[in-house]
Structure 1
Amino acid sequence: MDTSKLVPNDSRVEWRSLTTRGHTYSYQVVAPPSSICAAPKDTIILIHGFPDLSFGWRNQAPYLAFLGYRVVIPDLLGYGRTDAPEDPAEYTLKKLSDDVAAIAAAVTGNSGQVILGGHDWGGALAWRVPLWHPELVKAVFVVCTPYSPPSNSTYLSLETFIEHGILTNFGYQLQFARGDVEAKLGDKNATTIRQFLRTMFGGTTPDGEPGFNTTKGILFDKYMEVRGSPLVSTAEMDYYVDEYMRHGMVGPLNWYRTREMNFEDEIPLADAGKTKIDAPALFIAASKDTALPPSMSEGMESNFTQPLQRGEVPTSHWALEQAPAQVNGYISGFLASLARESKL
């Protein structure tokens, strides 16, 4: 089987769709060929982050299919070929966990558990699905995003944390939540969307300056000068822009407007003591990630009922593209450990 990364409109991909909660999801399926195995070993659902698409897992999906897994990659709510409701309340992690469960049921026919993988916001969601649907998740692996358990303490806004010098690396989230980005980019403007994506995917100005930082967000006085991304080819960027032109930016940015709603949703979990991940888990940190530095994962082990496996790659936030072989190696090692455990 060809394990090279997926390309736009790749023949190895089958697109499917389903409707759940009144929203239509589109998702990719990459299946192992019959020459490798008569039936898939398991189903892996890969959950992308911001401002990515299902295409963000292009380096991992063919490799995991080669290992014998059926790989399912949805465009998440607000993105690409999936619906993009305007109401931020539709984007809470509890509701999105229900959506992942619906996709899993559609693919497996309610026949069993799935393995989840996540990156960025997709990682946050991948950690929440086993809390809301513990029976569904056989195992979970997450790249970059540390796990924070539900809490029933007093809600504190992100503004409050940052005012006290805490989570200053999340300053960009305040900008994303306010509506500044949509206001500056306009409604489905291909030129500004391309510049935004170039900026987010590591592009710099001719002087080598970034158009984004984690404390302020998009630097609107610089981002239009940013040149092509070092992580995304011209053909890949064209694909991203075309997909973003379907809905614009409101849907993806709505994920940043759910912080308090997510907190309120999870109070019953905290009250019931359902705050630990019971499934086997792997966390892969990126040592140069300024948005989610590895230090944020210190002490995470106490929130897992089974020993947490760890890995680290020497990349920025875009580990899936910058270190695909290392990321795939950690994931395959984790999957092999699950197989060994199941035979004991």
Structure 2
Amino acid sequence: MDPKNPASFNHRTKKLSTGRTYHFVDQLPDNYDHKRSPTLLCVHGFPDFWYGWRYQIGPWVRKGYRVVVPDMLGYGGTDKPEDPSEYSTKKLCADLTALLDLLGVRRAVLIGHDWGAFTVGRFALWHPDRILALVMMSVPYTPPSRQYIPVEEVARLAPNLGYQADFANPTTTSELDTHLERFLSITFRTPTANENYTSRGSLFKLLQVSEVPRGPSVLNDSEFNQYVDEMRRGGMNGPLNYYRTAKHRYEEEAHAGLPADLPENLPVLFMWGTKDLTATPFVIGKARKFIRKLQDIAFEGRGHWVLVEAKDEITDRVGSWLQGLTSRPNSKGKL
């Protein structure tokens, strides 16, 4: 399991009971025992793929965990439906449950970054009987809305989320496909860089700028090329479809009557960078209202891409937190 060599991981591709085909990395520890070795199911965000977890997989496996990392719907070697309704979190969570079924895993620790954080938070609502503990990174928990709010209105109320309205526009697909390297170079800039596209319309202005050197990035050249190749191969329509699901998500959640609070006894860890424009103390504070057992860890001076920017700290802190869950007085000795 060499982070510099994607082929060194154990890759699998299987059709799930939901009818969708998923590519995923499935890494087992030495002396794996399916009854005793906890499974960590890691869910990436936008624009990412399994590769985003390359620095965490090996160390967590060496700590005795089974680590499963899928390419989420629309990415990598996984199916890429054209219809945005296929990307609702209800359907994504059904896929993740089907993946656990395929692996013979009853309950797992769910770990998510960015859109993955949102998805694993919803997994805890849709399938509370399948989750042992929850780790969310960079995107704080938000409860199901009691009324539908169009993404354009969200962008008006919270200008730092204006990019979501841009991504929801179907014309953005061709824009990003055309200017893919430029888009990815902006996306993976370090938090000290001046370029960002959080306000509405700013992305398109940045994409029209003449090509310039990549500048300060959280990725080295080899890693950056991995992302360019992967996103170019699959195209940006699938990844962008996540931002086109607001109405579908609202209708499914309202129909199911999903609760606002996460399960009372569910341990939850939130990890974030203090330079991340999408994770602010205000929204983290709001999340506390809905999570009884929330712990949070802030990484000073880090931005959105904490899996890379704080790779060693993420690896160690998650491992220590999970170990702590098994050593508490009321613990049964295992997750």
Structure 1-normalised TM-score? 0.87
| 2:95 equivalent in structure 1 | 99
What is the letter of the counterpart of residue 186 of structure 2?
T
Q: Distance in 2 between matches of 1:16 and 1:84?
A: 14
Structure 2-normalised TM-score? 0.89
Of residues 182, 186, 189, the one that matches 1:202 is 189
Q: Deviations over 1:19-47 (max 9, x none)?
A: 3433211001122234xx66662010000
Return closer, same or farther for 1:151/1:203 CA change in 2, 3 Å cut-off. Answer: closer
Q: Is the 8 A contact 2:144 2:259 kept in 1?
A: no
| 2:296 equivalent in structure 1 | 310
Q: Size of the alignment, in residue pairs?
A: 324
Q: Distance in 2 between matches of 1:256 and 1:272?
A: 20
Q: Distance in 1 between matches of 2:120 and 2:247?
A: 19
Q: Is the 8 A contact 2:42 2:67 kept in 1?
A: yes
Moved more, 235-244 or 311-320: 235-244
Return closer, same or farther for 1:273/1:56 CA change in 2, 3 Å cut-off. Answer: closer
Within 5 Å, give how 1:269-284 maps onto structure 2. Answer: 269=256, 271=257, 273=259, 275-278=261-264, 279-284=266-271
| 1:63 equivalent in structure 2 | 59
**Identity across matched positions, percent:** 33
Cα drift, residue 91 of structure 1:
0.1
Q: Deviations over 1:257-292 (max 9, x none)?
A: 0112111111144x4646423421111121110123
Cα drift, residue 104 of structure 1:
1.0
Cα drift, residue 82 of structure 1:
0.6
Return closer, same or farther for 1:272/1:285 CA change in 2, 3 Å cut-off. Answer: closer
Return closer, same or farther for 1:220/1:194 CA change in 2, 3 Å cut-off. Answer: closer
Cα drift, residue 240 of structure 1:
1.7
Within 5 Å, give how 1:1-344 maps onto structure 2. Answer: 6-34=3-31, 41-107=37-103, 109=104, 111-152=105-146, 154-163=147-156, 166-186=157-177, 192-202=179-189, 209-210=194-195, 212-216=196-200, 217-218=202-203, 219-222=206-209, 224-227=211-214, 230-269=217-256, 271=257, 273=259, 275-278=261-264, 279-305=266-292, 307-314=293-300, 315-341=302-328, 342-343=331-332
Q: Distance in 1 between matches of 2:308 and 2:254?
A: 36
Return closer, same or farther for 1:151/1:79 CA change in 2, 3 Å cut-off. Answer: same
What is the letter of the counterpart of residue 23 of structure 1?
R
SS state at 1:213 partner: coil
- Is there any run of 5+ residues in structure 2 with no aligned partner, and where? none
Return closer, same or farther for 1:327/1:225 CA change in 2, 3 Å cut-off. Answer: same
- Is there any run of 5+ residues in structure 1 with no aligned partner, and where? none
Q: Is the 8 A contact 1:285 1:294 kept in 2?
A: no
